[in-house]
Chain A
Amino acid sequence: MSSTAMKKKVLLMGKSGSGKTSMRSIIFANYIARDTRRLGATIDVEHSHVRFLGNLVLNLWDCGGQDTFMENYFTSQRDNIFRNVEVLIYVFDVESRELEKDMHYYQSCLEAILQNSPDAKVFCLVHKMDLVQEDQRDLIFKEREEDLRRLSRPLACTCFRTSIWDETLYKAWSSIVYQLIPNVQQLETNLRNFAQIIEADEVLLFERATFLVISHYQCKEQRDAHRFEKISNIIKQFKLSCSKLAASFQSMEVRNSNFAAFIDVFTSNTYVMVIMSDPSIPSAATLINIRNARKHFEKLERLDGPKHSLTMRMR
């Protein structure tokens, strides 16, 4: 990764109060200070300064003019905001009473994207779905999805329905990250080979900053369908505790008579978790295997590297 590569942005936009700050806090394990829950709108962009997927920086914007000051600021800073955007994630509040207005603001964002970063990927999240009655959720989401697909042409948008109170948020962001990893299919094949070689029960690949599961391999059916999110939550809590001591989390080994689990840094963008159900294999062996695999996977990532920075310089 060349250091002259310009930082690309992930824009997280949506109306004030649609849940962006909470979402960012949950996905990136950011502590929300009390006063962040402000009564007014976000006047300036909120950087998260998290190295997300290598060179991406997360920007939060309130979209949906509260007053003329906000509108003017937004229009004058428009080019600045929408340049170098890799991903636009637009959050819709499902219980919003001003659908027309929401769509209008979404469309202006899309126009700006078309002008400034036409290759950006667009994702729409229909958020706070837990407030809708269960039997109506699919219907409402389908309606919104159709409207959004129609409005987004010629850009293609991917829609998800999310809520911080079920697994949909985690799955949506995992899908987003999956689509952003440059060579993800190759990673998956290699991951399967790796797992079979070291005789692991399950191998997970996490994104480094958010611990969203990018890819996984399992050799037999596992009981708990929600284990990815749970592991992600546990590790993020641990990271929060570590950061309180100004330490940073690097690796972890958990072992008992039934299994051994290893979580370690893998490539520059990822963490790996290896689960071995044969307790007779010593930890050192697995750790050596992971170390060797790391070198191989890094080479895989670097294969795409120069190509990536070349296209950026050409823009």
Chain B
Amino acid sequence: MEEDNKPLLDSVRRGSYTDKGSTDSLDRGARRPFHVEHRNIVENDPSERVSAEASVLSSRVHYYSRLTAASDRLLSPPDHVIPCPEELYVYSPLGMAFKVTGGDGGAKNPSIITIFAIWNTMMGTSILSIPWGIKQAGFTLGIILLISMGLLTLYCCLRVLKSPKSIPYIDTSDWEFPDVCKYYFGKFGQWSSLLFSMVSLIGAMVVYWVLMSNFLFNTGKFIYNYAHNVSMSDTEFGTNGSERVICPFPDTGDHKGNCSSGISGLYLNNNNYYYYGNDTSDTAVFDRWWSKTNTIPFYLIILLLPLLNFRSASFFARFTFLGTISVVYLIILVTLKAIRLGFHLEFHWLESTQFYVPEFRLLFPQLTGVLTLAFFIHNCIITLMKSNKHQENNVRDLSVAYLLVGLTYLYVGVLIFAAFPSPPLSKDCIEPNFLDNFPSSDVLVFVARTCLLFQMTTVYPLLGYLVRVQMMSQVFGKHYPSFFHVFTLNIFIVGTGVCMAKYYPNIGSIIRYSGATCGLALVFVFPSLVHMISQKRRGELSWPSAIFHSLLIVLGVANVAGQFFM
């Protein structure tokens, strides 16, 4: 019987930590069982250090974990059941225990970090199309629309953010907006919110492919021209002088890839460079193999398709800082260009002149379409704001983030539009990708293109991963059903990108169509409907609110209709 009572920890007990006060509470002569209940470990304090509820919950969790397989979450404690961090203790079998200080659960960030994260996520490639959008809507109308769309989308974003809170009886702490749609609209809501989310993601991926082809082309062109000392200034229509701005499509209004010119002897090849006759010189050979629409989209397949098939995208998530650097560099670039080019603004209110566009144009829906995607963050705002330390400041922080995003877009758009050298060139020349208005020999713009190219190469697999995860888990139930499934999906996405890059590389159109479509559901219709239904269920729906939100839905539909008719 005596051997049974020998303490298991006897020899260790007499070791080095006898001088630490923490184990003094234990009776030296007593025999201690191996499992020490986390009560009187830390001090000789008779008061309870652990509440009874936490203690019995621990016992329950222990027991329930024996009843199911380790990976089965059927009997896992939900978040609302686990005691708050102040009641959690971590103790080692050697008898020391310490309290968990403050919650780690979800890495709480101060407001400034949250605002920055939202700004960083929202800043996409639509920044390149804002000057074109302002040009399409007219300068004054463009600025008015930018501010109004910003406010509208901010309001809808606030509705999305608050939507899980108004659901009674259910723990919605890990819900995203599609889950809210599923709650209110059933399967239809779940599938349609998934579908529209996919539209925005795949639209973004197609835009990325077109832009990457563009930037890769220009980068290669710059390097080739630099190495072979070829000057392009004779063949491109643009301003003269040190700060060259070009107009890639001077006569025609269309921006399609293939364009023909009737000037005899002059052939406009796919890169829109004039050359004489059947030029078989090195330049022509290079142009044939390094073509923005014919060959480069296919070269990109070799680079990007393998990256899309990676099982996990966490490697690419490390490079998000590149996006910030690119945007900041773009802002600096725009400022420098504006300083060097000066302002060229004339206000013609309704009529268009040779060099200027009216202040109010009928093509304004194109700008609203672009802005819907530019201000789109509604499918992940709930997750982003969950890690905000002071949740009561969510509305304020989101508004500040939208303000900063709006200011950035406004700055870039207005400066490029205003600085566009209008006497030789018409404002109508502003390209959907404003970097296209600078020749490939421009060093500053070359750096911008390279930065953006690199950044997009790292974001593209992330987007592909998001698409894959959402589609596969909804359709097949798991993230990676088999290599074949994932590969087929990737082929489809890449194929769409390549086709668009070859036949219709107008990113302005792609952005506005996909923006208006996904904005219809996720920005205008669903948040308004969800808000109205939840108010109605609580009996709080008033006439002004119903009219206002119905108006929002009508605006969303009009936005989409406007893309097709204008």
Say if A and B assemble together: yes
**Chain A residues proximal to chain B, CB less than 8 Å:** 22, 25-26, 29-34, 37, 94-95, 130-132, 164-167, 224-226, 229-230, 233-234, 236-237, 240, 256-257
- B67 adjacent to A29 (CB under 8 Å): yes
A237 to B66, CA, bound (A): 7
Known: A165-B81, A226-B56, A240-B66. A34 touches B72 (CB 8 A): yes
Q: How far is the CA of A36 from the CA of B519 in the complex (A)?
A: 41
Interchain CB contact under 8 A, A230 and B56 = yes
The yes or no answer to B16 lying at the interface (CB within 8 A) is: no
Give me 18 A-to-B residue pairs in the complex whose CB atoms sit less than 8 angstroms apart, sorted by A's number: A25-B75, A26-B63, A29-B67, A94-B169, A130-B81, A131-B170, A131-B171, A132-B169, A164-B64, A164-B75, A166-B53, A226-B59, A230-B59, A233-B62, A233-B63, A234-B63, A237-B66, A257-B30
A76 → chain B closest CB, angstroms = 31
How near does chain B come to A97, taking the closest CB pair, in angstroms?
9
Residue of A nearest to B183 (CB): A97
* Contact A225–B52 (Cβ < 8 Å): yes
Looking at the complex, which one of A31, A32, A132, A224 makes contact with B52 (CB distance below 8 Å)?
A224
Query: In the complex, what residues of A have CB within 8 A of residue B63's CB?
Result: 26, 233-234, 236-237
**Are A37 and B170 in contact, CB atoms less than 8 angstroms apart?**
no
Report the Cα distance A224→B62, complex, angstroms. 18
Main secondary structure of the interface of A (DSSP, over half): loop
Q: Are A95 and B169 in contact (CB under 8 A)?
A: yes
Is B74's CB within 8 Å of the partner chain A? yes
> B78: CB under 8 A from chain A?
yes
Of B5, B59, B60, B170, which one neighbours A165 at CB under 8 angstroms? B60
CB of B408 within 8 Å of the partner chain: no
Question: From A132, which residue of chain B is reached at the shortest CB distance?
Answer: B169
In chain B between 65 and 86, which residues have their CB closer than 8 angstroms to a CB of chain A? Answer: 66-69, 72, 74-75, 77-78, 80-81
Chain B residue nearest to A224 (CB atoms) is: B52
A131 to B5 Cα, complex, angstroms: 46
Which residues of the other chain, B, contact A256 by a CB distance below 8 angstroms? 5, 30-31, 33
Inter-chain residue pair count (beta carbon < 8 A): 77
Whether B52 pairs with A226 at a CB distance below 8 angstroms is: yes
* A167, B59: Cα distance in complex, Å: 11
Check if B147 is an interface residue, CB within 8 A of chain A: no
Contact B62 A34 (CB under 8 A): no
Q: Is B55 an interface residue (CB 8 A)?
A: yes
Contacts of A229 in B (CB 8 A): 56, 59-60
Bound form: Cα–Cα A131–B53 in Å = 17
Does B466 touch A at the CB level, under 8 Å?
Answer: no
- Tell me the complex Cα distance, A34–B69, Å: 7
Is B57 part of the binding interface, using a Cβ–Cβ cutoff of 8 Å? yes
Closest B residue to A19 using CB positions: B74
Complex CA distance for A2 and B508, rounded to whole angstroms? 86
Q: 7 tightest CB-CB pairs across the interface, nearest first?
A: A226-B56, A233-B63, A165-B81, A230-B59, A95-B169, A25-B67, A233-B59
Residues from chain B with Cβ under 8 Å of A166 in the complex: 53
Quote the shortest CB–CB distance from A24 to chain B (angstroms): 10
Cβ-defined contact, B72 with A167, below 8 A? no
Given contacts A131-B171, A225-B52, A234-B59, contact A37 B72 (CB under 8 A): yes
Contacts of A34 in B (CB 8 A): 68-69, 72
A136 to B56 alpha-carbon distance, docked (Å): 23
Chain A residues, Cβ within 8 Å of B57: 165
One digit per residue, 1 when the CB lies within 8 angstroms of any chain A CB and 0 when it does not, for chain B 14-40 equals: 000000000000000011010000000
Chain A residue with the shortest CB-CB distance to B69? A34
Select which of B68, B78, B169 is within 8 A of A31 by beta carbon.
B68
The CA-CA distance from A51 to B26 in the complex, in Å, is: 44
